[in-house]
Amino acid sequence: METHRELEQALKRIHRRGYPAYKEIRGEYRFPFYTLSIDHVQGDPFASPSRLSLRLTGQQAAFPRELYETPCRRIALQDELIRRFAAGAQKESFRVKGSGHSGLIATSRCTQQVVERTACRIDPRTGEVLFRLEMGFPASGRSVDGEGLRRMLLDQLPALVKASLLYNKEKDGSRFASLAQMADDRQYIRDHLAERGLCAFVANGSILPRASGVSDRPMEGAVPFFSPPEMEVCFALPHRGEIRGMGIKKGVTLIVGGGYHGKSTLLRALEDGVYDHIGGDGREFVITDPSAVKIRAEDGRSVWHTDISLFIRDLPTGRSTRCFTTRNASGSTSQAANVVEAMEGGARVLLMDEDTSATNFLYRDELMQRVVSPGQEPIIPFLQRVRELYEKWGVSTILAAGSSGSFFHVAHQVVQMDRYMPRDITARAKEEAARFTLGLVPAPEGKAPESRRAPRPFAPFRGERVKVRAMGREAVTVGKEEIDLRQVEQVIDGEQCAALGYALLYAHRKLLDGRCTLQGAAYQVEKIMDEQGTEGLCQGSLPFLARPRLAEVLACLSRLREMDR
Ligand code: ADP
Ligand code: MG
């Protein structure tokens, strides 16, 4: 390994040579308080920036062990280090000028969520910090600006590392300690939800609405959330002490209310409650069962070998729905497939909004049942399965619905959103419902879905160089295949999308062999990420990735359109 002085010499040597001469400085260099590794050098000033990583030993970084010894604390600390570095890098970026990306210094772009990202990894045993960043190696015209890169690597970077990646007790010891405590408190609620009979908790004082449809920051001047007295629960947190808020019990929960009264906003907060959030977000203590999955209609999606017979039987085409395949699902078949997929992934809670559901999937009224006989209707509406899902398989549902009263009959609890304030109207809703018979034809008993989805590896993914590219949080392309993730609503950003692409590629290269099911592959991907981090899914110089949940991995694996080719 060479020293930073030798790096300085090398930069002098290649100064003003053709841009490809930068390739010569790939390698590792020892700096006073870290090791710098130049992993990938961009081919020209306009190509994606060069990739670098920093390694700080436990002694160099000097974070006290208690800040990273449990997974939740480690993830919170890693997240904080990325944010610190990113904030500093933004100020330092482009001080060195030139064409293309010259002068850029950047790392992962964090969202409001606190998730594991490949940008920073702390070894829980040794405290070693591995940090990844990218830099636009500067060019003057088409040639190397060695002096510019010297400033970036030998002046700017060491200052950034010092300010953001080293533990300084006097300066921010208390900030780090409070982050760790917050992580413990959130984790405490998550760990105790199930045993308290809950599938979600929304703390009093939470701010649920977001600033706008395109911003995930909290809305200013929003009405804070307060639990109805009947639903209030209290957790005694290890650091913060008592916290009160609305506890949503397991079972079937209905969120009703007039249009624009905040139903969807509450549901969206619950969807996002599977993730942790940074301080100041407003949803710090909105905690949902981590397996909860948003279910929606997704017409046009492809479905492959999925048993949707719980909801759909006897299609007019005569095709069996115990092993249903289509390249273009309807609203109701797509929503049915989404439920089955969620159950395969071990979801204990389904989150649904009437706004994004297929109406005929949710319910059918009495008059329609009389006119169109059950023999002609392939759909058994969700209304007739929702209790069964809970009673037989322990799968709870939280449904936001403004227009169908039929669900009052099957709900265990009913919350009304009234000018953004929740009220428990269970008793009154039940009373009214008792006077109002539904007159539904009973549905035949359901069998647990039995999917035998064991695809063979997709041949085009076998080759040497298959590129994975996220298109924002909307889709990911793997080789020539595009996986549409727009309707997989709990994906947080492009880095998670990219990770899903790598998971798909990994599954097709290493796991799927015609015997392993998609479900089995998703669980194995999860195991790799537990053991090696998301980095375990790819080789070579590593992009910025955010760790996805098992549910989204399975969703991505299930949406490869060409699986049946
Ligand atoms: P619904 O689903 O009941 O029709 P939404 O949840 O879509 O209603 O909310 C309607 C509007 O009210 C949205 O623009 C949302 O941002 C805003 N809103 C929701 N909750 C609050 C709140 N607590 N304070 C202020 N505005 C809110
Ligand atoms: Mg709505």
Provide CB contacts within 8 A for 126, sequence distance 6+: 57, 58
- CA dist., res. 290 & res. 190, Å (int): 8
Judge whether 184 and 238 are in contact, CB under 8 Å.
yes
Residue 542 belongs to some domain of the structure = yes
Domain shared by 101 and 212, yes or no: no
Domain count, the chain: 3
Of all ligands present, the nearest one to the C-alpha of 356 is 2
Atom of ligand 1 lying closest to residue 257 CA: 3
Q: Which of 450, 477, 496 is the last residue of a domain?
A: 450
Judge whether 293 and 347 are in contact, CB under 8 Å.
yes
Following DSSP, what letter does each residue of 81-94 receive, concatenated? HHHHHHHHHHHHTT
Residue 89 belongs to some domain of the structure = yes
Q: Which helix (H) or strand (E) holds 114?
A: strand 113-114
The two structure tokens encoding residue 418: 């009234």
Judge whether 301 and 334 are in contact, CB under 8 Å.
yes
pLDDT at 319: 78
pLDDT at 563: 65
Domain shared by 108 and 10, yes or no: yes
Atom of ligand 1 lying closest to residue 400 CA: 2
3-state helix, strand, coil in the chain (%, to 5): 40, 20, 40
- CA dist., res. 239 & res. 42, Å (int): 47
Q: Report how far ligand 2's centroid is from the alpha carbon of 260 (Å).
A: 7
Q: Where are the beta strands (DSSP E) in 204-347?
A: 210-212, 215-218, 232-237, 241-249, 252-256, 276-277, 286-288, 293-295, 303-306, 324-326
Of all ligands present, the nearest one to the C-alpha of 221 is 1
Q: Angle CA(349)–CA(299)–CA(370) in degrees, nearest 5?
A: 80
Task: Using DSSP, state whether 68 is helix, strand or coil.
Answer: coil
Q: Report how far ligand 2's centroid is from the alpha carbon of 326 (Å).
A: 30
Q: Report how far ligand 1's centroid is from the alpha carbon of 228 (Å).
A: 18
Domain shared by 520 and 437, yes or no: no
Query: In this structure, what are the phi and psi dihedrals at residue 166, rounded to the nearest 5 degrees?
Result: -110, 145
Q: Report how far ligand 1's centroid is from the alpha carbon of 285 (Å).
A: 19
pLDDT at 542: 84
Judge whether 321 and 312 are in contact, CB under 8 Å.
yes
Q: Report how far ligand 1's centroid is from the alpha carbon of 266 (Å).
A: 8
Of all protein residues, whose CA lies closest to atom 5 belonging to ligand 1?
Answer: 262
Judge whether 246 and 232 are in contact, CB under 8 Å.
yes
Residue 305 belongs to some domain of the structure = yes
Q: Report how far ligand 1's centroid is from the alpha carbon of 179 (Å).
A: 30
Domain shared by 142 and 225, yes or no: no
Of all ligands present, the nearest one to the C-alpha of 418 is 1
Q: Report how far ligand 2's centroid is from the alpha carbon of 265 (Å).
A: 7
Of all protein residues, whose CA lies closest to atom 11 belonging to ligand 1?
Answer: 260
Task: Using DSSP, state whether 440 is helix, strand or coil.
Answer: coil
Q: Helices in 308-352 by DSSP H: which ranges? A: 331-344
Judge whether 153 and 7 are in contact, CB under 8 Å.
yes
**Which candidate, 155, 153, 270, 150, places its Cα nearest to that of 203?**
270
The CA distances from residue 489 to 186, 474, 486, in Å, are: 23, 10, 7
Residue appearing with tokens 């509450």: 266
Q: Which of 420, 450, 480 is the last residue of a domain?
A: 450
Domain shared by 370 and 425, yes or no: yes
The backbone region for 533, taken as left when phi is positive above 0, alpha when psi lies in -120 to 50, beta otherwise, is left
Rg, the chain, Cα only = 26
Domain shared by 502 and 442, yes or no: no
Q: Which of 396, 429, 450 is the last residue of a domain?
A: 450
Domain shared by 158 and 76, yes or no: yes
Domain shared by 141 and 219, yes or no: no
pLDDT at 404: 83
Mutate to test the pocket of ligand 1, among 225, 260, 272 (most ligand atoms within 8 A of CB): 260
Domain shared by 361 and 229, yes or no: yes
Q: Enumerate residues lining ligand 1, CB below 6 A.
A: 208-209, 219, 222-223, 257, 259-265, 417, 420
pLDDT at 166: 97
Domain interval for residue 24: 2-167
Of all ligands present, the nearest one to the C-alpha of 268 is 1
Atom of ligand 1 lying closest to residue 224 CA: 23
Q: Report how far ligand 2's centroid is from the alpha carbon of 213 (Å).
A: 13
Residue type, 283: R
Residue 254 belongs to some domain of the structure = yes
Domain shared by 415 and 467, yes or no: no
Per-residue pLDDT of the chain (565 residues; tens, 9 = 90+): 899 999 999 999 999 999 999 999 999 999 999 999 999 999 999 999 999 999 999 999 999 999 999 999 999 999 999 999 999 999 999 999 999 999 999 999 999 999 999 999 999 999 999 999 999 999 998 899 999 999 999 999 999 999 999 999 999 999 999 999 999 999 999 999 999 999 999 999 999 999 998 999 999 999 999 999 999 999 999 999 999 999 999 999 999 999 999 999 999 999 999 999 999 999 999 999 999 999 999 999 999 899 999 999 877 777 788 989 999 999 999 999 999 999 999 999 999 999 999 999 999 877 887 788 777 778 899 999 999 999 999 999 999 998 888 999 999 999 999 999 999 999 999 999 888 887 777 888 888 888 778 888 898 888 778 999 999 999 999 999 999 999 999 999 999 999 999 999 999 999 999 999 999 999 999 999 999 999 999 987 688 999 999 999 999 999 998 765 5
**Which candidate, 517, 495, 515, 504, places its Cα nearest to that of 559?**
504
pTM > 0.75: yes or no: yes
Q: Please give all residues whose CB falls under 5 A of ion ligand 2, grouped by chain where several chains appear.
A: 263-264, 355
- Positive or negative, the Cα torsion across 489, 553, 48, 91? positive
Domain shared by 467 and 396, yes or no: no
Of all protein residues, whose CA lies closest to atom 23 belonging to ligand 1?
Answer: 223
Of all ligands present, the nearest one to the C-alpha of 263 is 1
Q: 550-558 and 331-344 are packed helices; what angle lies between their axes, rounded to 10 degrees?
A: 130
Residue 233 belongs to some domain of the structure = yes
Task: Using DSSP, state whether 274 is helix, strand or coil.
Answer: coil
Q: Where are the beta strands (DSSP E) in 328-485?
A: 349-353, 396-400, 413-418, 421-424, 468-471, 475-478, 481-484
The two structure tokens encoding residue 164: 């953001």
Strands 198-203 and 210-212: unpaired
Q: CATH no. for residue 418?
A: 3.40.50.300
Of all protein residues, whose CA lies closest to atom 1 belonging to ligand 1?
Answer: 260
Residue 181 belongs to some domain of the structure = no
Of all protein residues, whose CA lies closest to atom 7 belonging to ligand 1?
Answer: 264
Q: Report how far ligand 2's centroid is from the alpha carbon of 263 (Å).
A: 6
- CA dist., res. 474 & res. 164, Å (int): 32
Q: Report how far ligand 2's centroid is from the alpha carbon of 246 (Å).
A: 20
Task: Using DSSP, state whether 52 is helix, strand or coil.
Answer: strand
Task: Using DSSP, state whether 252 is helix, strand or coil.
Answer: strand
Judge whether 263 and 209 are in contact, CB under 8 Å.
no
**Which candidate, 228, 227, 212, places its Cα nearest to that of 286?**
227
pLDDT at 84: 98
The backbone region for 94, taken as left when phi is positive above 0, alpha when psi lies in -120 to 50, beta otherwise, is left
Buried b / exposed e along 357-367 (16+ C-beta atoms within 10 A): bbebbbbbeee
Residue 175 belongs to some domain of the structure = no
Query: In this structure, what are the phi and psi dihedrals at residue 193, rounded to the nearest 5 degrees?
Result: -55, -55
Mutate to test the pocket of ligand 1, among 206, 226, 265, 418 (most ligand atoms within 8 A of CB): 265
Judge whether 140 and 191 are in contact, CB under 8 Å.
no
pLDDT at 397: 98
Residue 183 belongs to some domain of the structure = no
Atom of ligand 1 lying closest to residue 268 CA: 6
Domain shared by 68 and 207, yes or no: no
